[in-house]
Amino acid sequence: MNYIVIDLEFNGRRHYEIYPMEIIEIGAVKLNERLEMIDTFQSYIRPRFHINRFALQFCGISKETLTGSRRFAEVIEDFIAFCEADSTLLSWGGNDFFSLFVDCKVNRVDSGWLTRMIDLTSFFRGGLQQELANCGLQPIGQHHSALDDAMNAAQLLRVKPDIVHTDRCFVPNAFKLCTGGIKKYIAQSIERADAQGKPLSWDRFLTDEQTLKYIAVMNLNDDEIDMIRQLFIKFMQMKYGRKYKKLLYA
């Protein structure tokens, strides 16, 4: 069995924006059963939506590099081939796994290849750089470079090799996957409508331009749209208490 230590860099998103974060770089290290490095993977990804200038500065990536790169569906096909069957994925933080599921959904890529995933942060107390220092390890390369950070996470994995045998694996939450990107917009919309003296109904929210755009971007089916409705009801309950039922379909 191979072990794939991954790190991702993201495009980011504006406050209350309904577009996903989007992965703009994948870096990965392939380790054998003795946790020896046998191969590496690195690729930039051209996002579907607007490029966040802060993300470029944060990751040290030029806009020209991203606009000249391939789309997610093409890159992930190569990455899946790199991983090979029955590989275990490990990452410094479960957010990387969550984002893989999101980007697969947005790009209509089957996520069935995402099976056994281990969040390394569950076995350490501090951040990546802090833990490298705590373990007396020299950081490799540049921080927030996906391949370099994957190599650094692999260094820490070798400190605690039994991690690869854990049963504590990352399990995706379908509800959060479908609603995470619109949660803040729901709260904002309810507050804005209340300030205008016109409590927001579910029907109005469902036909809102941004809501419809989110549903399209995330490729949500009827059951997944109902998850948004459940979250909307929860926020309405928090705002209006028992009165929410009268307002829900007003």
Return the pLDDT at 15. Answer: 64
- Cα dihedral across residues 60, 66, 22, 105: positive or negative: negative
Return the pLDDT at 46. Answer: 94
Residue type, 235: F
**For the whole model, what pTM was predicted?**
0.93
Domain boundaries, the chain: 3-172, 175-248
Return the pLDDT at 61. Answer: 84
Return the pLDDT at 250. Answer: 66
Return the pLDDT at 85. Answer: 84
- Cα dihedral across residues 204, 210, 212, 218: positive or negative: negative
Place of tokens 């609603």: 179
Return the pLDDT at 112. Answer: 94
DSSP codes of every residue in 128-143: HHHHHHHTTPPPPS-T
Q: By three-state DSSP, how is residue 159 classified?
A: helix
Q: How many residues does the chain have?
A: 250
Return the pLDDT at 79. Answer: 98
CA-CA-CA-CA dihedral for 4, 117, 224, 238, to nearest 10: -120
pLDDT tens-place values along the chain, 250 residues long: 899 999 999 987 766 688 899 999 999 999 999 999 999 999 999 999 888 877 777 778 888 888 899 999 999 999 999 998 889 999 999 999 999 999 999 999 999 999 999 999 999 999 999 999 999 999 998 888 999 999 999 999 999 999 999 999 999 999 999 999 999 999 999 999 999 998 999 999 999 999 999 999 999 999 999 999 999 999 999 988 878 777 777 6
DSSP codes of every residue in 66-93: HHTSPPHHHHHHHHHHHH-TTPEEEESS
CATH code of 3-172, in short, is 3.30.420.10
